[in-house]
A and B are shown apart, each in its own frame.
Chain A
Amino acid sequence: MKRGVPLALAAAAYVAVAWVVQPGFFDGIAPPAPYRWVSPPPQFQSSNQPPLPGHGTLKVASNGVVDPGTIFTGDGQASISFVPGSFEAPPDRSPISVEIRPTANFPQPSGITLVTNVYCFTASAPLSSGKQALITLRLSDQMPTPSTVYGYRDQGPWEDVGSTGSAAAFSISTRTSWLGCFAAGYPSNVRQTAQGARLGGGQALPIVVAGAIVVVILAGLPLALLRRRGSPAGPPPPGKRRSRR
């Protein structure tokens, strides 16, 4: 029982402390750096940094096939990846130039809530027929989780281009057979969970802390008792210095 008390205290302390922190704080899968907004929501206006564009080139290999590659924006918030031969090679075999540009000027989406910047992807050559590019958009940890990626060509309208899930934490990806402007979002009539929402302690915190104590004690005490009774493979009793082999 002597060891159950610190165990219970540790469980209670953890729940109380973790209650006020947003989820996702383990092992490098931590909340990412603050999202850079083109048009920041009011709560981020004071600390917002402008998003950065991206540029890259893809060479044409000696066999006439355009090399694969990935182009990132300078802040890593958007990227586009190509497999070999994604582009039709220019007759002069000059490299394909790819641009990623965050934009504030886009057709207003109807029935859609966007939770990222709108990024426009352009290239100096058209995508080959039947080839797709992989677009990845980083997400803000302070906004609701998007359900899909939306995009538009020329002047619109917006269309749902789907999502292939996330290859990394706080990101969403999609495959597209055309280049245009893209953003992550969700249908406005669907209630999304706000990742950054913070709840106060209120009535729930004591109950949750008590629950945590009970769970840890219930699971830990039998193990501690079994250990005390002695186990052939178990180490010597605690408190004694143990020496290495």
Chain B
Amino acid sequence: MEASARATLRALMLAGAALGLEYLRVLALRLPGLEAPALLVGGASLCLLAWGRRPAELGLGLDRLGGRLLGGLALGAVLLLPAAMRGGGAPALGPGLAAAAVVVSVGEELAFRGALQAALEEVGGPLLAVGGGALAWTLAHLLSHPPASLPAVAAAGLLLGTWRWACRDLLAPVLGHLLADLAL
């Protein structure tokens, strides 16, 4: 098989696996009392999709650490900005759910902005990587989010994906996503 065909197949399989895991997690969330376990297992499973990639390919690394952390705080601030300015907010998460939300944030970033975006960039360059990654991320939230929220989910995916491409960094999207999940 040609290298490009292999890369395409790999990207499609990654996208399919990520979507499947997200849908399974959402279905499990609907069972009473299973919120935290579903989030934990779902998030951990998503992390596995990055298996086999070098940290640098995923945008991970300890170089430029200060900048990455600052970037994460900035992304978190921007993600939270609309809710903060409107003065609204969801009820605070309990400790179990908060811990699970951390795992989901890391899992989603590793899977979508990390592994999938890297695979899509190998197939079709940065435009496909950012756009395709955001599209897959939005599709992954179809079951869990009301239709009115999906444009915001897509826009968040585009922002995090653009950062990943522009700065070759995944640490900031992970941190920003995590802060947003804990606060929203």
Which positions in A face B, CB cutoff 8 Å? Answer: 3-4, 6-7, 10-11, 13-19, 21-31, 70, 72, 76, 79, 139, 141, 145, 165-172, 193-199, 204, 208, 211-212, 215-216, 218-220, 222-224, 226-227, 231-235, 238-239, 241-245
> Which residue on A lies nearest to B150, using beta carbons?
A25
A26 to chain B, nearest CB (A): 5
Check if B61 sits within 8 Å of A234, measured CB to CB: yes
Report Cα–Cα, A25/B26, bound state, in Å.
Answer: 13
Q: Which of A25, A196, A197 contacts B145 (CB 8 A)?
A: A25
Check if B92 sits within 8 Å of A7, measured CB to CB: no
B153 to chain A, nearest CB (A): 6
> Which residue on B lies nearest to A4, using beta carbons?
B166
The 3 lowest CB-CB distance pairs between A and B, nearest first, are A219-B74, A23-B83, A3-B166
Residues of B close to A76: CB separation below 8 A: 32
Report Cα–Cα, A227/B167, bound state, in Å.
Answer: 7
Check if A193 sits within 8 Å of B184, measured CB to CB: no
Residues of A close to B108: CB separation below 8 A: 27
The number of residues on chain B lying at the interface, defined by a beta carbon within 8 Å of a beta carbon of chain A, is 82
Residues of A close to B70: CB separation below 8 A: 219, 222-223
Given contacts A165-B94, A216-B74, A223-B67, contact A14 B158 (CB under 8 A): yes
Residues of B close to A216: CB separation below 8 A: 74-75, 78, 159, 163
Residues of A close to B74: CB separation below 8 A: 215-216, 218-220
> Which residue on B lies nearest to A22, using beta carbons?
B88
Q: Which of B29, B88, B104, B166 contacts A197 (CB 8 A)?
A: B88
Q: Which of A13, A208, A238 contacts B165 (CB 8 A)?
A: A238
Which of A4, A27, A172, A220 has the most chain B CB atoms closer than 10 A to its own CB?
A27
Residues of A close to B163: CB separation below 8 A: 7, 10, 216, 220
B167 to chain A, nearest CB (A): 4
A210 to chain B, nearest CB (A): 11
Check if A139 sits within 8 Å of B91, measured CB to CB: yes
Given contacts A13-B158, A17-B152, A30-B144, contact A223 B91 (CB under 8 A): no
Is B1 in contact with chain A by the CB < 8 A criterion? Answer: no
Check if A171 sits within 8 Å of B91, measured CB to CB: yes
> Which residue on A lies nearest to B82, using beta carbons?
A18
Report Cα–Cα, A18/B169, bound state, in Å.
Answer: 24
Report Cα–Cα, A24/B163, bound state, in Å.
Answer: 22
Check if B57 sits within 8 Å of A244, measured CB to CB: yes
Q: Which of B32, B71, B77 contacts A79 (CB 8 A)?
A: B32
Q: Which of A70, A171, A196, A219 contacts B73 (CB 8 A)?
A: A219
Interface residues as binary, B94-127 with A (CB distance below 8 Å gives 1, 0 otherwise): 1011000100110010000000001001100110
Check if A15 sits within 8 Å of B53, measured CB to CB: no
Q: Which of A11, A72, A169, A208 contacts B97 (CB 8 A)?
A: A169
A51 to chain B, nearest CB (A): 15
Check if B91 sits within 8 Å of A170, measured CB to CB: yes
Residues of A close to B25: CB separation below 8 A: 28
Check if A208 sits within 8 Å of B91, measured CB to CB: no
Residues of A close to B62: CB separation below 8 A: 233
Check if A10 sits within 8 Å of B89, measured CB to CB: no
> Which residue on A lies nearest to B42, using beta carbons?
A28
Residues of B close to A172: CB separation below 8 A: 91
Check if B57 sits within 8 Å of A215, measured CB to CB: no
Q: Which of B121, B125, B159 contacts A11 (CB 8 A)?
A: B159
Residues of B close to A233: CB separation below 8 A: 56, 61-63
15-63 of chain B: CB within 8 A of chain A: 25-26, 29, 32-33, 35-36, 38-39, 42, 52-54, 56-57, 59, 61-63
Residues of B close to A24: CB separation below 8 A: 90, 184
Check if A27 sits within 8 Å of B146, measured CB to CB: no
Residues of A close to B181: CB separation below 8 A: 26-27, 29
Which of A18, A141, A168, A238 has the most chain B CB atoms closer than 10 A to its own CB?
A18
